[in-house]
Structure 1
């Protein structure tokens, strides 16, 4: 599995408790086990913190976001992955 696919799968799984559609980033954080302090790992290495990731790649004008898949795709596209 390549990095994009692995990150996509992990993010979608991590957001299983998020109630989509969401209108704010805080609604996403409220459904994550550690909120904005959650970390994303690939191959056992932490590659980013969710709070940092969202502040870099998600804009207020992106909302509403309809699904975990749409959010993961948006982040990955903006990150160039």
Structure 2
């Protein structure tokens, strides 16, 4: 599994118990197991939920699934 796929899988895993839809950045951070400090790491790439939130835009919300969140973050983070 490459870095992009690994980070994607970790984001989905972190949100496996989240209640969707998620309508705001605050709801998204609250859904992460350790809030903004939740980390995804693959190889030499480390991404916290707080860092990931910086690439999201108001128009991205609401999110309807963990996969959708992971797709947007991985694409925008340039992984």
State whether TM-score is above 0.5.
yes
Give TM class, smaller chain. 0.7 to 0.9
Between the aligned partners of 1:80 and 1:46, the Cα distance in structure 2 is: 11
Distance (whole Å) between structure 2 residues aligned to residue 59 and residue 12 of structure 1:
19
Q: How many residues align?
A: 79
Give the equivalent residue in structure 2 for 1:68: 66
- The C-alpha deviation readout for 1:47-70, integer Å capped at 9, x for no partner, is 122112212x10111111111101
2:22 is matched with 22
Return the TM-score normalized by structure 1. 0.85
| Residue 34 in structure 1 maps to residue 34 in structure 2 | yes
- Answer whether contact 1:18 1:27 (CA < 8 A) is retained: no
**Unaligned stretches of 5+ in structure 2?**
none
**Moved segments of 4+, more than 3 Å:** none
User: What is the TM-score with the length of structure 2 in the denominator?
Assistant: 0.87
Relative contact order, CA 8 A, sep 6+: which one is greater?
A: 2
